[in-house]
Structure 1
Amino acid sequence: MSTGYRELADELRDAIRRGVYPPGTTLPKQEELAAEHGVNINTVRKAVASLEAEGLVTPVRRRGTVVRERPPMKRLGIERYAKSKWKYGLVAFAADREASGRDWKRGDQTNKVRKVRADSKVAEALSMKPGDVVYERARLVKDGDTPTHTLTSYYNPAHVEGTPLVDPKPGPATPGGGFAVLTLQGFEPDHMVESFHARMPEREEIETLALPAGEPVMILERRTFTKDGTPIEFALGVHAASRFEWSYSFQLPE
């Protein structure tokens, strides 16, 4: 039976997983693959395109088709928000870095702060009205030179006006980040709701996160509340799917 592109993709995928083509190496030229497997060049192109869509390989100019590096960073669950961390100067993204055995520096997070009109989702999350003015704090976080995710938080101006949360300098708002600032303002975070879903990225997200062809993004929505249920933050995160390992540790309820 002749080899089709699906069968060839299976063979190449297996070779990648067995380490025949380690991360960072280049696959043989398409002409060489065609000759080696006894198929035509169109079959090779379709097989490689299939692997690109899976995120296993990516085309690199002047190099060819490169097997993608997969050193995912841990993205912790509830422990990344432990008060014992941010009250003593360790913000959530830095907690992820330390859990992953990676260094971090203040400049790994850049900020853009502005006042915007709340859309219906932001307004609902903050118990405000659509069109009300809110603060938008948009961050881009990098691991070295590689962008990992964006995180955009929205705040009621009455909670954060005049605080470091509305200062656009690079890095966390304070050593303890936004949660520490809110606590000093009398709005200590007590509980939150997070939801996730996956989708394909928009054009701007592809450019901002330097995403290879075929890579999806993980979308995080986070709502944070005080003990009495006052909403104090709504955050929207866009994460490069292959750059994180989502890790959760929790006690099973009775």
Structure 2
Amino acid sequence: MDPLRSKKTNGGTARRPTVEAYKNEHGDAASARQQGHQTQEVSLVEADEHVSTALGLPPGTTVYERARVMTRDGVPTHTVTSYYRVEDVEDTSLVDPAPGIAGPGGGFRVLTDRGLDPHEITEDLNARMPTADETLLLELPPGEPVVEVRHTTRTAEGQVIEYARGVHAASRFMWSYTFAIPD
């Protein structure tokens, strides 16, 4: 086994988020609170081309990879794999392999506490058909597309502090964005 792919493990207590879900795809129906859960696997890995470019690092640089599968009421909804520079998150709850969120305020609170205040996010969305592995992992019915989201978080100074890739079951999500109109 590649030593950089070795997983951090411990017997930590799971943290369970609650999510607000809507009864239709438009988000205008009554909402319901549902129990959410996420698995978590944390590894030190060599940054591939996309990760190294996003984080501004040479290819092959060791980074933390935090891979999660999110479920809502026991149904898998999406995966998210985040990447961080080692020096930005070492010894924080972001690299704690206990299932669940990174703690009160989530990962952005952890980064803020390290002096890396998230200021700007860029998201690139791509609808596509899932791979065979994604179909199994997300328990997708035949013909269900996914939406891949590539997410880059920066400080006000422009430093990238997180790069993430997520795969979402298309029928289980609706995205809504609000933008200020420039002068």
- After TM superposition, the score normalised by the length of structure 1 is 0.60
Aligned-partner residue type, residue 102 of structure 1: A
Deviation at 1:110, TM superposition (A): 1.4
Match of residue 155 from structure 1 = 84
Deviation at 1:102, TM superposition (A): 3.1
More helix, by proportion: 1
1:117 corresponding residue in structure 2: 46
Structure 1 residue 248: deviation in Å?
2.2
Counterpart position of 1:136: 65
Per the TM alignment, residue 115 of structure 1 is displaced from its structure 2 partner at its CA by: 0.6
Quote the Cα distance in structure 1 between the aligned partners of 2:137 and 2:21: 25
Structure 1: segments with no counterpart, 5+ residues: 1-92
- In structure 2, what is the Cα distance between the partners aligned to 1:248 and 1:225? 18
Structure 1 Cα separation of the partners of residues 57 and 159 of structure 2: 11
Aligned position for 1:62: none
- Per-residue deviation, residues 145-203 of structure 1 (Å, max 9, x unmatched): 11110011000000000000000111111121111100001101011111111111111
Q: 136, 152, 155: which one pairs with 1:223?
A: 152
Residue 249 in 1 paired to residue 178 in 2? yes
**1:164, 1:175 → 2: CA distance?**
10
Structure 1 segments of 4+ aligned residues over 2 angstroms from their partners: 97-105, 248-254
Question: Sequence identity, in percent?
Answer: 50
Across the two proteins, how many residue pairs are aligned to each other?
159
- What does 1:207-218 correspond to in 2, within 5 Å? 207-218=136-147
CA distance in 1, matches of 2:20, 2:140: 24
Match for 1:168 among 97, 105, 109? 97
Match of 1:102 among 32, 40, 43: 32
Structure number with higher strand proportion: 2
* Offset at residue 227 of structure 1 (A): 0.9
Deviation at 1:99, TM superposition (A): 6.5
Give the TM-score normalised by the residue count of structure 2: 0.82
Cα root mean square deviation, aligned:
1.5
Equivalent position to 1:232, from 133, 149, 161 = 161
One-letter amino acid matched to 2:180: Q
Structure 1 residue 245 displacement after superposition: 1.7
